[in-house]
């Protein structure tokens, strides 16, 4: 495995190969590694070969692969920086004599063709032996790159200098070792409890397809039932798991049988049914899954579906004068620190001035708002917590007819 000196080691090795191989063409022919626009040195124009690294690209075969024998099965390592290097070899004849330049270019290409793979002997002849290039598991290969006249023209236009006959080469792959340590797992002393090994379970885990909310609402509320529709559904040794990023632990509730096959019903208890409901839940988005735990067997979990829990609110000062309207809104379940809260007052959005959560976990959160410049009229009020709105609709009469909840309306006189 090479280190960050790997690129320089490749350039130095190619420079040394060409410098030694070009000697039959004449003593002291310089081999440079300058940018093409600075390769020629003023009026002094001897025979010269210039080697220029013009591009580096990730190596697709190695970029996401662990190094063999360094990362063992079960260990987690950071893949090496795997690179392909692209060089341009340009020959200059003495006093810009093209014939002499062509002789030098042919000689340089012959040298690189004789060394399609860089071995340890070639790499050892340079001073950058600490690069580790000779020890890397992948051999360094030199391949001629066929560039079209258009590609070559674009290159030299980028160099902003006069075009000279050149040859392009790809050198791959350079594996630069990551400096991040490899994580090695501890040895396995036993496989599961009592070293029983892998447990085979006959049958498939439940699969959820749909969550049906009451009256086609956009969110459920505490005290309501939701219906789960799917396959392999059962109530035996099964719980419904609600998970929220706002809560430290998931909430598990037992399901009951639905009206038809392939359905289960889950009741969300309110504070009357569960004294801890207001602090156990929080308004917002949850993921729901079924978890089956048979005795002596590992738990099986279904896929997860998203479900929203809407806040239930009560608004005080439902009748007040025009101008700045001060409102107090109670929210069940209680709001958690960090949640995004907005009051939707008619078509306006207002942030809370204060959020008060009592120490008594059986009490709801109280939020105060100040809505400026309110004209006379009747306004619908909704509370939005983490993107989930309270439901300002009630149902009365038989059959049920929807109407706006009077407890979520404010009349401005």
Tens of pLDDT along the chain (413 residues) come to 678 888 999 999 999 999 989 887 777 788 999 999 988 876 667 889 999 999 999 998 888 777 766 666 666 677 888 999 999 999 998 888 888 889 999 999 999 999 999 888 888 877 777 888 887 878 899 999 999 989 989 999 999 988 888 999 999 989 888 887 777 778 888 887 778 777 776 667 899 999 999 988 999 999 999 999 999 898 999 999 999 999 999 999 999 998 888 899 999 999 999 999 999 999 999 999 999 988 877 788 999 999 999 999 999 888 889 999 999 999 999 999 999 999 999 989 999 999 999 999 999 999 999 999 999 999 999 999 999 999 999 887 777 788 888 888 999 88
CB 284 within 8 A of CB 383: no
CB 278 within 8 A of CB 362: yes
CATH code for the part of the protein at 6-176: 3.30.2000
Spans of all domains in the chain = 6-176, 207-309, 312-412
pLDDT of residue 39: 87
Which residue(s) pair with 243 in the sheet? 287
pLDDT of residue 296: 76
For strands 207-212 and 166-176, give the pairing. Answer: unpaired
The answer to whether domain 207-309 and domain 312-412 are alike in fold is yes
Which residue(s) pair with 352 in the sheet? none
Q: CA distances (Å), 275 to each of 222, 241, 271, 333, in order?
A: 12, 20, 5, 11
Q: CA distances (Å), 161 to each of 35, 38, 146, in order?
A: 10, 9, 21
For residue 179, what are its two tokens?
Answer: 């400096």
pLDDT of residue 295: 82
Task: Name the nearest CA neighbour of 262 among 238, 290, 234.
Answer: 234
- For the chain, counts of helices (H) and of strands (E): 5, 27
CATH code for the part of the protein at 207-309: 2.60.40.10
CATH superfamily, domain at 312-412: Immunoglobulins (2.60.40.10)
CB 346 within 8 A of CB 375: no
Q: How many CB atoms lie within 10 A of CB 238?
A: 18
Q: Cα–Cα distance between 351 and 349 in angstroms, integer?
A: 7
């Amino acid at each position: 495995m090479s280190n960050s000196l790997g690129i320089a080691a490749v350039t130095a090795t190619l420079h040394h190969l060409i410098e030694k191989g070009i000697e039959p063409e004449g003593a002291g022919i310089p081999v440079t590694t300058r940018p093409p626009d600075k390769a020629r040195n003023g009026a002094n124009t001897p025979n010269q070969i210039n080697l220029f690294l013009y591009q580096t690209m990730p190596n697709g075969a190695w970029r996401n692969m662990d190094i063999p024998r360094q990362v063992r099965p079960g260990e987690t390592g950071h893949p090496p920086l795997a690179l392909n290097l692209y060089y341009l070899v340009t020959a200059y004849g003495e006093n810009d004599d093209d014939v002499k330049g062509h002789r030098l270019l042919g000689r340089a290409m012959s040298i690189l063709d004789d060394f399609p793979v860089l071995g340890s002997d070639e790499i050892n002849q340079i001073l950058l032996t600490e690069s580790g290039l000779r020890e890397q598991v992948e051999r360094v290969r030199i391949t001629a790159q066929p560039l079209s006249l258009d590609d070559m023209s674009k290159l030299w236009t980028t160099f902003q200098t006069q075009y000279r006959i050149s040859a392009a080469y790809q050198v791959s792959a350079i594996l630069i070792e990551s400096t991040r340590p490899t994580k090695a797992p501890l040895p396995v002393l036993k496989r599961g409890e009592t070293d029983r090994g892998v447990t085979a379970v006959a049958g498939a885990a439940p699969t959820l397809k749909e969550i049906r909310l009451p009256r086609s609402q956009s969110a459920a509320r505490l005290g309501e039932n939701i219906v789960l529709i799917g396959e392999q559904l059962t109530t035996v040794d099964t719980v419904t798991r609600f998970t929220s990023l706002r809560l430290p632990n998931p909430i598990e509730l037992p399901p009951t049988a639905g009206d038809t096959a392939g359905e289960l019903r889950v009741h969300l208890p309110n504070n009357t049914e569960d004294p801890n409901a207001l602090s156990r839940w929080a308004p917002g988005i949850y993921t729901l899954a079924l978890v089956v735990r048979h005795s002596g067997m590992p738990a099986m979990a279904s896929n997860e579906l998203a479900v929203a829990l809407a806040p239930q609110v009560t608004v005080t000062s439902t009748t007040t004068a025009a101008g700045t309207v001060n409102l107090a809104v109670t929210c069940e379940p209680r709001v958690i620190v960090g949640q995004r809260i907005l009051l939707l007052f008619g078509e306006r959005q207002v942030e809370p001035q204060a959020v008060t959560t009592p120490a008594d976990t059986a009490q709801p959160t109280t939020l105060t708002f100040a809505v400026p410049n309110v004209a006379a009229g009747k306004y619908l009020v909704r509370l939005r917590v983490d993107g989930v709105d309270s439901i300002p609709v009630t149902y009365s009469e038989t059959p049920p007819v929807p109407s706006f909840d009077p407890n979520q309306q404010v009349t401005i006189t």
